[in-house]
Amino acid sequence: MPQVFEFKLPDLGEGLTEAEIVRWLVEVGDVVAIDQPVVEVETAKAMVEVPCPYGGVVTARFGEEGTELPVGAPLLTVAVGSEGALGPVGLADSGSGSGAEAGAVVSAVGPGAGSGGSGSGSGEAEASGNVLVGYGTGAPVARRRRVRPEAMAASVAAHVTAAAAVSAAVPDAVQGPVAVVSPLVRKLARQHDLDLRQLAGSGPDGLILRADVESAIRALTEGAPAPAPTSAAVSVPESESVSAVQPSVPSVAQPAASPAVERIPLRGVRGAVADKLARSRREIPDATCWVDVDATELMAARSAMNSAGGPAAGPKVSVLALLARICTAALARFPELNSTVDLEAREIVRLPEVHLGFAAQTERGLVVPVVRDAQARNADSIGAEIARLTEAARTGRLTPAELTGGTFTLNNYGVFGVDGSTPIINHPEAAMLGVGRIVPKPWVHEGELAVRQVVQLSLTFDHRVCDGGTAGGFLRYVADCVEQPAVLLRVL
């Protein structure tokens, strides 16, 4: 006796209340296994593949790609039952025996909600043993309502009829998943009302690239040829067609249409960043101090580390990893800057661990991955974790846990070729260190003018947690470590 289970969008954790469908991984009529990913969604934190806790046949999907759904909204329905009881698309075999029940419809969020049953031939529906944040098999079993066989058969048949209608209306050439990996490409196509199924990808195995979408947009903007008339058009006799166009009508110049205003929804990562930055500006009375630093010795020390051989050899050390290690040493001396403010209790909360965030620019926008327990790591360990998180950010595979919980942020905006900035603090943190580009400049060194590698450092801090003396002391210590890396030997 098959049952139709409704799988709803689960709570993805970190207080997220909605998610956008990026890509469906299954079609109506597909057979899915327990814990098989069925849809890829984008939240304000990351992109996540959502596994289905039921095994069976997909009878319906809710929401097109690009649709934003709230937590608890239906994602899809799955017909669950024995292989012999299900037809090709999840319909119970009407000729399997007299008096057999067609099943029951169960609505649940996550596995374990709605399984179970009574009566001969109906066991508990098999559910996942794995969990996604916010739901799992530990939830109490929901009671299901008995449905008359006639009503159940009609419900399941409706799903099958809808699926068949969709399959018949869409040509075979446009069914199946679209060969697009980047969510940025999908977003660009949605903004310009492009059907990705009509584009031929120039990437490997027909992958649709951003250049393909931009070419299609340019073709639409410049004016594509008029489409050929369809087979449903009414044919006109040749004589009537000629006489209809013979009268001469003077051409009137039409005024050029003004460019349309483009509206971009603030949602997903962009919306989360906007909300966080606006909240930081509203709540945090920030101030900024900066200093120019001679980084020649730091760059020489890095070159020596990376060129060492024998037992001292190891992975390449990045400048960002060295600066991160300097930050953890400075925060040990100035713990006021590794804190947050509890507005309700009117207290400054000093944090014992340093969870160091670093700003990373990706196709999806600005993200801040977090290196956990940075105070207990050396430069090699910090560098390896930064490399891992950067690759995950580039491929859009950062988890919400890897994007939250930071206590201090390091912002290397020098990669954009700029010298200085007054960054906005990553709420609810208390400070952010900004690093400009390292460039050769004239510098007075040991009483003589010389060309040195110079960088500008800026510290933006929450004036509620400390005064300017503490912030200046932190920044000066960081600058001393950059100018004289041997200073770090005291704390290693």
Q: What secondary structure letter does DSSP report for 83?
A: T
Give Cα separations from 107 to 12, 41, 81, 125, 395 (angstroms).
19, 21, 16, 13, 34
Burial track 186-224 (b if 16+ CB lie within 10 A, e otherwise): bbbbeeeebebeebebeeeeeebbeebbeebbeeeeeee
45 close to 272: Cβ distance less than 8 angstroms: yes
| Whole-angstrom distance, CA of residue 488 vs CA of residue 482 | 9
Give the distance from CA 174 to its chain's centroid: 26
What is the spatial distance between Cα 129 and Cα 55, in angstroms, rounded to a whole number? Answer: 12
What token pair was written down for 132?
Answer: 């996604």
Cross-strand bridge partners of residue 339: 350
Single-letter residue type at 457: L
Residue ranges of alpha helices (H) inside 202-267 are 210-222, 238-245
With contact defined as beta carbons under 8 Å apart, do 210 and 200 qualify?
Answer: no
CB 386 within 8 A of CB 371: yes
Given the DSSP bridges, would you call strands 356-358 and 360-362 parallel, antiparallel or unpaired? unpaired
Q: For residues 430 and 334, is the Cβ–Cβ distance under 8 A?
A: no
Catalytic residue list: 463
Q: At what angle do helices 319-333 and 296-307 cross, to 10 degrees?
A: 120
